[in-house]
Structure 1
Amino acid sequence: MPSSWSRPAISPETSGLLIARAHDELLAGNEDRRLDDVRPLVTESWRRSMASLVGPEGLPTLELASEELEAYRRAHPLAGVMDMVRALLLPGTAEESGVIVAVGDAAGRLLWVEGDRHIRTLTGDLGFVAGANWAEDAVGTSAPGTALTLDRSVQIRGAEHFNRLVQPWSCTAAPVHDPETRRLIGMIDVTGGPEAVTPQAQLLVDATARAIESEILVARLRAQQAPPPRRSAPARALLRILGRDRAMLEIGGSTLELSARHAEILLLLAVHREGLSAEALSEAVYGHAAVETLRPEMVRLRRALVPLAPRVVPASRPYRLIDGLETDAQHVLSLLDRGAHRVALAAYSGPVLPESDAPGVVEVRESVRSTLREALIAEAGVDVLLAYADAVDGRDDEEVLRLCLSMLPPRSPKRAGLVARIERLERE
């Protein structure tokens, strides 16, 4: 069955060039100039974005890591209607539909992003992936975030986006409400080219939102019981180990800086969730079996953790973290899995515990480094690769530099600098 999305017969009412100029004037502080060329809905959203200190080229934050995302969306009321969303908005071959469909929660966090494979690759590079926050006060004007802010369906065309990185795309989004309380529970969004912002697209997205609300109500009536009470989730524990030798443990708004040895132990237990024997853990930390040295270190680690993070205190026989522990390195890998290369590179603040020589840590460090490098080489755009080539891990990587050179247009002013760097590496 062919896709329902067809390109509009007419151009957008306001040219992208005029809107882009108005955007530049507003950012420059000239609010009274050129704004007549822009819809009031958009200018008001731009001003809210500026009031929220949103950067015009910023990247969204990943607020739901992989395991947390899976658990959260399983419990979300929109989980039970995803088949309906796919049937209504992605007919035929979804991966060649010409658009992508995102479903998110009331806070603007994307929970599902599906549809055209090529578009998902390109938009994923900008952080339009499951788990990312696309609220208006986080990334500025966009259909998902602005629809939630205004509590009505919204269409945002190209240059109307506050974030310049998103301006190649257009989108239509509508809020979704609880059918009984009318409380906002999420939104649906269609993103693509001009076909995503036709009047027919808005009608279809609005109709889908109403169909979702009806389906949720029918499901409740069938179940003949009230929804289970929501339980507040325990504070998430995060271990920051990228680009720092003394790791930082964050939990519930509090932080604890760890010693180098304690950072190594917690990292290894976070990676080996099944647990490690005393012998295996001591080998990974010290490079040889040193159980008698490890045991008093574990006592000191437990003592340090109890006041702030009792849930993170390791159990023994084997040593393991019962509740699990996320790391910022795992977040980078999760972003790469979702195709958010630009966001992943921005989140990669340096090697894992760079000064550690613990064998287990060295293995993790090289695994993260090589996974990032290979993903960028295989899938990232030239702008992301150039940014990687300027980072510590990529600046002396001749293969990356040559790949950037091959991807740049012949007259790009960036070519000369790359050639000079390649020649320097060849001489050395």
Structure 2
Amino acid sequence: MGQRDLEAALPAGADPRRHARVLAQVHEAALSGKELPSRPRPVVDASWQRMRRLGMDPDSRAAAPVLTVEQLEARRRASGLVEALPTLRGGLTSVAEQAAHIMVIVDAGGNVLWRDGSAAIRRRADSLGFVEGVDWQEEAVGTNAIGTALVARRPVQMYAAEHYVRSHHSWTCAAAPLHDPRDGRLLGVVDLSGPASTVHATTLALVDAVTRLAESQLRTTHLTELERLRGFAVPVLAKVGGRAVVADEHGWVAAAAGLAPVDRIALPANLAPGGVWLPAYGHCAVEPVPGGWLIRPTETDAAQPTRVVLDVRSPRAPELTVAGAAGTWTHRLSPRHAEMLYVLASHRDGRSASELSSDLFGDASRAVTVRAEMSRLRRHFGGILGAKPYRFADDVEVLVRRPPSPEAVLPHSLAPAIRG
């Protein structure tokens, strides 16, 4: 697991009470349109701007929607988070109880699914409406660590008046997103929340570490499942003969015959048995097998795609749709791949590895990272991407569907080419 930059809400060595007063002054000035005594952190500033565009009332105590018991149980089952619960509770519940905090787990839609920790703090949270089943997205309750982490897609800590709604100023929260290691999909957010007086700079690092441990254990479970599928796939491929591959439902390859070995192939959303065009192999016949799919290329020179639609209107689910004579194919993109394709769509003449590095990281020296990611993209999406320079193929029409506000384009992104 790579290192992630963590930015605590409380600067090192700062006095919490004095810093809270400064934040309150910044908050009041920002809401009244006066000159700011200091700038809020970028992640806070960006969220406050979103709240102003939404017309969020900083004095609102309106109750956010709450799921029924039946809806809550259904959300829990569908969240993909149940397998991570033992790790998250084992790593954070006792800490939450000792530190006068609660541990909160929300799904990708921002609904609070579980709360554990201090009974006294749970009661305080109840009075705020911070209960199981509530919608805790920014759109519902303003700037907060959970909702902002869902947008920013990175660990976030909020302290005191960094919260947009004043009734939350007595709280501090540290939240980290949890992703499905099989497909990079955002499963939800893990959070520690408590009274503002309990703020600590290391809380965010703790939440992030435990969340990443849970992701690691989910990855181990997946590898075990893939090995089980491999034991089934090898005799199936021997019986079928010819070029074929067996992959799980997320596209991870268990075994292949007569095809270049790859770790993963991009599969369309809602894959069904029958014929399908895949960027990696062209037109294929697809059959279900226990735990995955048997995929067999059916023609050598498949018709190449003629149109690509990059849809970034959804802040959490960017998609790439590829269309051609063989049909239409849609795949959900990871945040990084969405950024890279967006930049390439904006530069049809192409970008070198160093230019893409500057576009994405503000640093031309990270070209090795760019080349590795572009290699993955080109394996996934076949003939629609070229190299030297990296670009969409010249004979492919590229359409980008954007949200109405430029600030809402991939709001998680810090890439200079997108935020600049």
Q: Which has the higher contact order (CA 8 A, sep 6+)?
A: 1
| Structure with greater proportional strand content | 2
| Structure with greater proportional helix content | 1
